[in-house]
Structure 1
Amino acid sequence: MPWIQIKLNATNENAEQIGDMLMEETGALSVTFLDAHDTPVFEPLPGETRLWGDTDIVALYDAEADTKLILAQITASNMLAEGFAHKVEQLEDKDWEREWMENFHPMKFGERLWICPSWRDVPEPDAVNVMLDPGLAFGTGTHPTTALCLEWLESLDLAGKTVIDFGCGSGILAIAAIKLGAAKVIGIDIDPQALTASKDNAERNGVADQLELFLPQNQPEGLIADVVVANILAGPLRDLSDIIKGLVKDGGQLAMSGVLDTQAEDVANYYRDEMTIDPIVELNEWCRISGKK
């Protein structure tokens, strides 16, 4: 069955609202968001307004849909400027599940760490390979904040160390830490669904026996670690700074992300009283703050 695809160019301020309108008012069967580099946006941060740069919106319709009517409805919504940029294409029938899967490729972080979807061949069998599929919770490695944390973990000597993944999401950082040599990793998250995802992914990677998972209210008292990583958001990193610093043992290391470049210095200042802060690292407007206690 053929389809019609309408691609609109939007901004970070109106993309989500336009997507909702296309679904609710024009009868779009699906809506996909693409970033400025034509890469599908798979990882909106949990609980945060999506911060895209230039964003393309791709809406899929039945081949019998009246495109003139759809474009008139979009115009009438007043969400886009008059003469808005758009493109209408006819698509042949495809195996859409396979098409979606094609967007995910093995990704390398640092010198030896790979994150690989289960349906792809492992590029370097002798490297450190984490098998992780997009699914239940935030974190598959495609977002800059996840990439920054993975690269930092890969740069450390984790042999025999205890690591805390504060806000563990899918478990990607926790599992990577184990595969990189950590003796024990503790994942903490406020979302029970994230703990389920972390547990399932750890089992797929054969490291479940080295991963302990807790809701904050259930974590052991006096919990400390050699290495702490927190890929969450700027607000919680500020609000929970005393708690996060308390998880790092003296001489231990901390890395934080989920922070925009405009927020990084302010967040870092909440940690300077107990931490020696490294130069802040930026990737696509997102930052990693790291340091030693």
Structure 2
Amino acid sequence: MNYIELNITVEPDFSEIIMAELGELGYESFVETDEGLLAYIQEEDFDQEKLDELTAKYLELTTIALTWKSLERRNWNEEWEKSYEPIEVGNQIRVRATFHAPDPSFTYDLLIQPKMSFGTGHHETTWLVMNEQLSLPHVGISVMDVGCGTGILAILAAKLGATSLEGFDIDEWAVENTVENFEMNELTAETEVFQGTIDKVGQDKIFGGVLANINRNILLAEIPKYVQHLKPGGWLVTSGFYETDQADIEACASQNGLKKLRSNTRNQWACVVFEK
């Protein structure tokens, strides 16, 4: 499976909104550059017509130029490794690659093999979820990571005391990377990672916490299923959607017996925490 690398030249003031728009079109990963940003999407999901429409929309507001090329899997991974910088969440969490030296001033040191920016903390929603995890009970519980990406949220859950982790993703690369990252962090928790969706989770499996950093449509369709796997008093962290979609997510959660605990936003992205 190859990826398309989209190179966008645009004014800094428009980088965030362009990134959000591309996220809606299926672009998975982003790197900010001096000229604008790089965006990555699976080749089979690339749509030139939609890209042209997006360009035309913003040409009325700013100067924007786009070029793209196809990347082999190996080269795509190398791009991330070259561009990856450590991510810090407050003064407690630091996400780094093995080629970065540890910083003992942080409470939680998380190691990853950087292959997907969307799941490494660079994306606003990953940062939001990790920030919320710091305030949630993890000790002694099982945690499910929906659409695990690099597995970074599950790794943090383990470092916060979770004793069992289950992660899954529809992307085979994500599954491979999650397994690799679990091993690098030498987790003591029991772990299971598979390629697939919530429908492959055993009906008898019940979790104390569920991490769901996906997108609006999947959340609206699957929140009822997450609730079935959540024990009474358990928590659900949702993110991957914009502030404008938050009301829809909260309404769906309420209809399925969840109580909102709190919410947070960061650069127009939202995160909401619920309790069963």
Superposition TM-score, scaled by structure 1 size: 0.68
- C-alpha spacing 1:82/1:188, structure 2 compared with 1 (3 Å): closer
Deviations 1:232-284 (A, max 9, x none): 00000001121122121101011100010000111110011311112321111
Distance of 2:211 and 2:62 partners within structure 1 = 47
Task: Give the equivalent residue in structure 2 for 1:279.
Answer: 262
Query: Does 1:222 pair with 2:204?
Result: yes
Distance of 1:140 and 1:83 partners within structure 2 = 30
Task: Give the equivalent residue in structure 1 for 2:26.
Answer: 48
Residue among 256, 259, 275 paired with 2:241: 259
Tell me the number of residue pairs that the alignment of Structure 1 and Structure 2 aligns: 238
Q: CA deviation at 1:45?
A: 4.8
Tell whether the 8 Å contact from 1:187 to 1:212 is kept in structure 2 after alignment. Answer: yes
- C-alpha spacing 1:170/1:80, structure 2 compared with 1 (3 Å): same
Query: Does 1:190 pair with 2:170?
Result: yes
Superposition TM-score, scaled by structure 2 size: 0.72
Distance of 1:42 and 1:101 partners within structure 2 = 20
Distance of 1:83 and 1:39 partners within structure 2 = 11
Q: CA deviation at 1:137?
A: 7.6
- C-alpha spacing 1:100/1:270, structure 2 compared with 1 (3 Å): closer
What amino acid maps onto 2:251 in structure 1? N
What amino acid maps onto 1:244 in structure 2? Y
Query: Does 1:163 pair with 2:146?
Result: no
Query: Does 1:104 pair with 2:84?
Result: yes
Distance of 1:172 and 1:35 partners within structure 2 = 31
What amino acid maps onto 1:259 in structure 2? F
Query: Does 1:250 pair with 2:226?
Result: no
The equivalences for 1:82-161 within 5 A come to: 84=63, 103-124=83-104, 127-135=107-115, 138-161=118-141
- C-alpha spacing 1:33/1:210, structure 2 compared with 1 (3 Å): farther
Unaligned runs of 5+ in 2: 39-54, 66-76
Q: CA deviation at 1:35?
A: 7.9
Aligned-partner SS, 2:265 = strand
Unaligned runs of 5+ in 1: 1-18, 21-30, 60-76, 87-96
The equivalences for 1:10-21 within 5 A come to: none
Q: CA deviation at 1:218?
A: 3.5
- C-alpha spacing 1:104/1:137, structure 2 compared with 1 (3 Å): closer
Q: CA deviation at 1:103?
A: 4.7
Task: Give the equivalent residue in structure 1 for 2:154.
Answer: 174
Q: CA deviation at 1:123?
A: 1.5
Deviations 1:78-106 (A, max 9, x none): 884699489xxxxxxxxxx9997675332
Aligned-partner SS, 2:248 = helix
Identity over aligned residues, as a percent? Answer: 25
CA RMSD of superposed structures (Å): 4.0
**Higher Rg:** 1
What amino acid maps onto 1:245 in structure 2? V
Distance of 1:207 and 1:135 partners within structure 2 = 20
Task: Give the equivalent residue in structure 1 for 2:52.
Answer: none
Query: Does 1:237 pair with 2:215?
Result: no
Q: CA deviation at 1:108?
A: 2.4
